[in-house]
Chains A and B, each alone.
Chain A
Amino acid sequence: MTYPLLMIVLTVAVSAAFGVSLLTGPSDIGLAELMSSLGSAGADSTALILEEIRLPRAILGLAIGASLGLSGAALQGYLRNPLAEPGIIGISATAALGAVIAIYTGLSLAYPLALPILAIAGSVLAVLVLQLLVGPGGALSLILAGVALSSLAGALTSLALNLSPNPFAALEIIFWMLGSIADRSMDHVHLAVPFMAAGWVVLMTTARSLDVLSLGEETAGGLGVDLSRTRLLVVTGTAISVGAATAVSGVIGFVGLIVPHLLRPLVGHRPSRLLPASALGGALLLLLSDIGVRLLTPGTELKLGVLTALVGAPFFLSLILRHRSTYGL
């Protein structure tokens, strides 16, 4: 399959999944109703459900999936490590910690922007710590550092939620650990999507530098790649998009791992081509997963992260198995 064809197929698939997402829910709303309702500004139940419940859910599924897929591809390209993924290396968990602090202290009530900003600050912190601990190609140390970071952030998140006098806070640990986009509102879309989109733009600017980085840092430096600028862009782009995504959805793991890996052979292994493809692929995977949780367990919806982990974790293990010799794991 040629690259333009792949991109077209992915775009069509994402659009279709977006439509199916709008049509999926406990109430039967047909395609005709969907069409007529989206156009009109009526206040009837169907319009309300579509515009205020399903539309934000579909938009967030698309945007969060794109953020996770894109940042996974960018991290793998930059770190030259096929196991890098925002969830596995602890970026999502620290973003969730930031979001938890913003929400449960009441800060986000006074300043709604505090939610994405603190989450982004959390992911920036994670990337900086990882950079300090891990050199290029250090697959094992990257994962170990990520595990430690995830556990620490997870423990602090649990602590913060357990200490909250609100009896519901402790129950919400599961949301932050496993992620969900059920019953999110347009407020969340307005709050998070602009940040995510900014992150995508930043990450896309690194495309060609990532290509050259596959020859190693010295060669890339000799070819005029600004290494510290590239690092800054990857860090910022990942932190902004993953941070904003996690702020409204909790931690959704493995999307950034599975998607780039499946698409890499289809784009001819070039990191620059992998970026936009992974954004589309991530959007597709998350939309499908979110449709899945609604169909598989209607009523008591499974958390989104449960589904992605059920698929992603075995995938991750098989990747480790395959790369064991390459990376001395």
Chain B
Amino acid sequence: MRYLLAAAMLVLASVRPAPAMPQRIVSINVCTDQLLMALVEPERIASVSFLAADPATSVRWRQAAALHLNHGRAEEIMALQPDLVVAGTYAARATASILKKLGYTLLELRPAASIQDIRDNLLTLGQATGSLNQARKLIDVFDQRLERLRYPAEGTRKLFVNYALNGWTSGTGTLVADLAHHAGFDVAGDRLGFQGLGNVSLERLILLSPDLIDLGNDWADPPSLASQSQGHPALQSLLQRTAQVSVDEPLWSCGTPWTLDALAQLRQARDALE
């Protein structure tokens, strides 16, 4: 679910004139938070969003805990007197438009829907923050690791289904699909023909008979119908004969350099299926 939210958070990158080396950068989106922390030294980060410090949504939560945290409200951002604001669309949409109107320098990044988007976002943000070299360095390391993890293109693809609560799963054109393809898997969208996120009923899931399932966060405490639906006997029966993987959600809910950790897990699971 957080994956969904994160995906909706980023919009088209729109670079505006900024000082060559912004010194008071504020990020109000959990995905840009993490990219920023990867690229820029902490002294130049005036604030990141509170979600960046939440282990459920952020890979770099320890690092974020040492920073000033914001809730994406226009007034608190203005009080920080930023020279660059990095944003997405979700929740802070109104904030972003106010800040833009007031003349703040605003950078909006679109959500990574592919591995290539991660590179693009790193470069865009690197350029805007004057950390282009750091960005290029990260991308080099990223690409080398990607090459090591890539499943041979001639191999047969198995089916991976990330089956989140209420039956939400990834279709084509998503970061998860791109990762799965790199790891030697199709996703449900490849087989059923849908883009983005799709809702797949339990019955359809059983008919797909996936080779690998990731149930994601079960949100079991406190309970909800959605979390209880994972106890459905039909699903349990399917799980008994299907391999499971549990990717830490922040790894792929935002496209970051650490997203390759998710790919590594998928690749490992793919090898285990041989």
Contact = CB atoms under 8 A, between A and B. Distances in A.
Given A168-B1, A183-B201, A300-B199, A48 B238 contact: yes
Contact of B222 (A48, A165, A182, A185): A165
A27 interface: yes
Contacts of A166: 219, 221-224, 226-227
B30 to A, nearest CB: 15
Contact of B223 (A54, A103, A182): A103
Contact of B233 (A168, A172, A187): A187
A105 B269 CA distance: 36
Interface residues of A, number: 33
B204 interface: yes
Given A48-B234, A52-B237, A185-B234, A168 B225 contact: yes
Contact of A49 (B224, B226, B234): B234
B165 interface: yes
A182 B199 CA distance: 13
Interface in B145-172: 165-166
B81 interface: no
A164 B1 CA distance: 16
Given A186-B233, A187-B233, A53 B225 contact: no
- Would you call the interface of chain A mostly helix, strand, loop, or mixed? loop
Contact of B219 (A53, A54, A167): A167
B139 interface: no
A26 B208 CA distance: 12
Interface string A42-73: 01010011001110000000000000000000
A52 B202 CA distance: 10
Residue of B206, B223, B241 with most chain A CB atoms under a 10 A cut-off: B223
Interface in B193-212: 199, 201-204, 206-207, 209
A183 B200 CA distance: 12
A182 B223 CA distance: 19
A183 B209 contact: no
A52 B201 CA distance: 13
Interface size class of B (residues with CB under 8 A): 20 to 34
Contacts of B219: 166-168
A165 to B, nearest CB: 6
A266 interface: no
Given A183-B229, A185-B233, A186-B233, A164 B206 contact: no
Interface in A166-217: 166-169, 171-172, 175, 182-183, 185-187
B62 interface: no
10 interchain residue pairs of minimum CB distance: A52-B234, A168-B226, A168-B224, A166-B224, A169-B224, A27-B207, A185-B232, A26-B204, A52-B233, A172-B225
Interface of B: 1, 165-166, 199, 201-204, 206-207, 209, 219, 221-229, 231-234, 237-238, 241
Interface of A: 25-27, 43, 45, 48-49, 52-54, 103-106, 108-109, 164-169, 171-172, 175, 182-183, 185-187, 299-301
